[in-house]
Amino acid sequence: MSKVLALGDCNTLGAGDFKYQSYPERFAELIDADIKNCGYTMSTTREMQYFAQENIQDVDIVLIQYGLVDSWKTFKYSPYVLYYPDNIFRKYYRKLVKKYKKVCKAIGLNNLLGVENVVPDKQYKSNIELLINSYPDKLFILIDTIPNKALWRNDEIVRYNKILENISMIYKNVLHLKIYDTFLNNFDSYYIDKTHINNYGYEFISSQLVELYNNYNNMKKI
């Protein structure tokens, strides 16, 4: 039986009633595979490396969906505190950083000194490629970050999804699942709120994953 590892943020984990009932579980069931869902709220490709180190050794398929937080624009000189592995000190430090960023924005430092993505695009790309290069025997499926109903966020999300597409064109063991446009056209059908996916959205993603995976396997047989 194949083993699947899912790495991603809140939409990989599943929000509310869909926690551990999101697309990784549904995809694994459809292909008769075991699943380890390491989706984690607020996580980025920085946290990804720790989840991977702990869980990737004996899996065959790795699903990756990061970008929601990575692409977020924040004050350029804000420190980043990991959400995983977590501890009481990091929780306290994050609260301080949050207050710091709020003050910086209020006094105009964002406009004066600039903003940048939480995980800059070059680091985002290198984080994912490092994992792919470390495990060339595994199949990686890179999944688009879905558009946000806060529309001002979507230009950066599109840019980060393009990075996934570019990576998939380089490596033979990497597939790219393009779902952004479909979700953009289904704001009223696929969302719980402005950010999180509902049952219909998860059904769509899992069905598209199965189709992509089966096409990949069929091509290998030719």
- pLDDT, one tens digit per residue, over 74-86 is 999 999 999 999 9
What is the distance, to the nearest Å, from the Cα of residue 132 to the centroid of all Cα atoms in its chain? 15
| 105 and 169 housed in the same domain | no
How much is the pLDDT for 158?
A: 98
The CATH number that applies at residue 21 is 3.40.50.1110
| 12 pLDDT tier (thresholds 50, 70, 90) | very high
Phi (first) and psi of residue 61, to 5 degrees: -125, 135
**Quick one: 18 and 86 in the same domain?**
no
Is this structure's pTM higher than 0.75?
yes
Q: Are 6 and 24 in contact (CB under 8 A)?
A: yes
CA distance readout (Å), 99 to 70, 78, 82, 108, 194: 20, 11, 16, 14, 24
Rounded Cα distance between 130 and 125, Å, is 9
Rounded to whole angstroms, the Cα distance separating 63 from 209 reads: 10
| Same-domain status, 84 and 158 | no
User: Has residue 1 got a pLDDT over 80?
Assistant: no
100 in the same domain as 139: no
Radius of gyration of the chain (CA): 18
Which of the listed residues 117, 148, 173 is the one where a domain comes to its end? Answer: 117
The reply to whether 196 and 178 lie within a common domain is yes
Rounded Cα distance between 27 and 203, Å, is 9
Are 83 and 112 in a shared domain?
yes
**Domain of 103?**
74-117
Please tell me whether residues 100 and 155 are part of one structural domain. Answer: no
**Does residue 163 sit in the same domain as residue 214?**
yes
Last residue of a domain, one of 117, 146, 175: 117
Task: Specify the DSSP element, H or E, that contains 166.
Answer: helix 154-168
Residues 126, 203, single domain; the answer is yes
CB atoms within 10 A of CB 39: 24
The verdict on 29 and 135 lying in the same domain is: yes
Instruction: Read off the pLDDT of each residue in 47-70 and give the average, rounded to a whole number.
Output: 97
Mean local confidence (pLDDT), 11-21: 96
Q: Residue 123: is it exposed, middle or buried by C-beta count within 10 angstroms (0-12/13-18/19+)?
A: middle
Specify whether 216 is located in the same domain as 129: yes
**Which of 117, 149, 170 is the last residue in one of the domains?**
117
**% of residues, the chain, pLDDT over 70:** 99
136 with 53, same domain: the answer is: yes
Per-residue model confidence as pLDDT tens digits over 83-122 = 999 999 999 999 999 999 999 999 999 999 999 999 999 9
Total domains in the chain come to 2
